[in-house]
Amino acid sequence: MTDSAAGDSGENGAGDSRPAVYELDPTCTLTDVEVGARYVATVNGVVDYGVFVDVSEEVSGLLHESNLDGETFDVGDELVVLLEEIKENGDVSFDLADVDLEEADVLAVEHEPEITAVADGRVGDHVTVEGEITQIKQTGGPTIFHVADESGVLAAAAFQEAGVRAYPEVEIGDVARVAGTVEEHNGDRQLEVDDVTVLSGEAAAAARERLDEAMAERAEPSAVDPLVEWEAFESLRPELEDLARTLRRTVLEGRPIRIRHHADGDGMCAAIPVQLALENFIEEVHEGDDAARHTLKRLPSKAPFYEMEDVTRDLNFALEGRARHGQKLPFLLMLDNGSTEEDVPAYKNLAHYDVPIAVVDHHHPDPEAVNDLLDHHVNPYLHDEDYRITTGMLCVELARLIDPSVTDELRHVPAVAGLSDRSKAEVMDEFLALAETAGYDRDDIEDIGEALDYAAHWLRYSEGKTLVGDVLNVGADDDERHRDLVEFLSTRAARDVEEQLDAVEPHVEHERLDSDAHLYRIDLENFAKRFTYPAPGKTTGELHDRKVRATGEPVITIGYGPDFAVLRSDGVRLDIPQMVTELNEEVHGGGVSGGGHLVVGSIKFVEGRREDVIDALVEKMAEAELDEELSTTIELDD
């Protein structure tokens, strides 16, 4: 009630001469009444010194005989009283109001409970929380509602009958007031529900506005300086801040997050830091140690784009989660892939379900193809930069914007990402120096990168969270195990690479192109060990590096199988994505697809047209200009 509604004027404050009398909702408490206001009351008891009246189920008091003016009342009589005093001990006294109820303007008053922030309710407290319903899960016993406000997310258990949906009118996305007692359940706080009220109209609009403003404030990324000063990175920083803001807001709203990343060293250097930062924030926001496990999922992708197989699996998982656990559909975060036209079919599939998508990548993008399907697209090429800014470098800064407390664990990660992707960034020496402050020299960093690639190969489509975290030493708790594991995996990786190169070297075909560049070809199907480490992309890359070191001249290397080819180039100005587009048009029935970076990539084609595709590809490569300054051997598994 407002002050203008009470007072001594005897009017309702709107220019009406009819006196205002308030009729309270049965749930109204002392917080909903004001001294000096008139209320509809019901007599609940008659004594020698007066009558006791109820103005709601929660508010009662005495109308003393001295205020009755000789009138008498019986239990159940209805009358109009004036609230005279609320004493310190909570007792309430009334006076008889000189108002005829039939001549009054009776105004309904709903209960306005004191709202407790989700994070502030203590075990044993009876509270009312107000927030958005983000999840509804029906168990074999109670219905579990997840309520999100600006302070966090809390589970609220409402019981009607075993396995029967309580409050069936409540839906995900509703703003509601949930009243109950805070209890402890499996070591975590849980609200045992007395009542759930869905807000509507102005009340819902006001609550949403309050929640939106508060969540927007809490979603603001942390103010952290980049680990190294790098002018090329500065144009990307505002976009990373915007994405960090969205991811923090996504956690606050209780929406699950699904991370997809390329299954190589740079991809894991991108995904693991972001995963750690998000897990920390989820644990801060959500009640329960298992919250991150239920709301955050990370999975590698073997291809450097979002395959239909992957998106179908992800979408099915998300829809099952919605059906079984009442979850919102997830926010998809693509790391070290997702920028190309090959991703479009998968994105369009997700668009049927309004799944938000964000991409952080450094492969050559097709912005005209993907941007309309994305909520965020962070890529150095969109700012006239290139692949030397690796996705791992970007995502270390993204993780720090989400949760700056992870900084000390991540000081070596940009160097691992850079060396894993053979980055020629001008600040690589600074990243390596930063790694040294964390106890890693260049050899250590190279070994970690090799160990990550080796682990990724054998993990295939599995997350391998603990193993990968131990290898990268992020989110790990045993430095000795990390060192031993890296030594073991990197040694085996080096051994397997040498064995593979020894197997293929005698079968490498060499020719000089008209441009005077060296062209090396290797039939991986017939001369490389299959179904083992290194994979075709890694094999081609290692062979290419060996030839670059041996010749010191421009080199192109093609490793091919029945229906794929992996491409590497140093010192030749190629545009592999453009070549793929042209080949798809020129080789009819070839089914050419793929891409990658400008001078590094992989393509697929119809097996029966392999010879035509590769011959046409070589012709295009022979026409490319040499560029002694253009040099890269970025790893790209097919």
pLDDT in tens, 247-265: 999 999 889 999 999 999 9
Structure tokens that stand for 533 in this block: 């480490």
508-631: what fold? Answer: Diaminopimelate Epimerase; Chain A, domain 1 (3.10.310)
pLDDT at 16: 57
Place domain 3-109 in its CATH homologous superfamily.
Answer: Nucleic acid-binding proteins (2.40.50.140)
pLDDT at 290: 73
Average pLDDT over residues 47-52: 94
Nearest one of 302, 270, 269, 265 to 638, comparing CA atoms: 302
Separation between Cα atoms, residue 92 and residue 83, nearest integer Å: 8
Q: Where, residue-wise, is CATH 3.10.310.40 in the chain?
A: 508-631
Separation between Cα atoms, residue 300 and residue 467, nearest integer Å: 14
Average pLDDT over residues 81-107: 92
pLDDT score of 413 more than 90: yes
pLDDT at 158: 95
Amino acid at 147: V
**Non-local CB neighbours of 358 within 8 Å, separated by 6+ positions:** 243, 246, 247, 331, 332, 333, 334, 374, 375, 376, 377, 378
pLDDT at 12: 52
CATH class of 228-438: alpha beta
pLDDT at 638: 42
Nearest one of 206, 147, 199 to 175, comparing CA atoms: 199
Average pLDDT over residues 19-34: 91
Average pLDDT over residues 307-315: 92
Cβ contact 503:509 at 8 Å: no
Percent of all residues in the chain with a pLDDT value above 90, rounded to a whole number: 74
pLDDT score of 636 more than 60: no
Q: Where, residue-wise, is CATH 3.90.1640.30 in the chain?
A: 228-438
Q: Where, residue-wise, is CATH 2.40.50.140 in the chain?
A: 3-109, 118-218
Q: Does domain 118-218 have CATH number 2.40.50.140?
A: yes
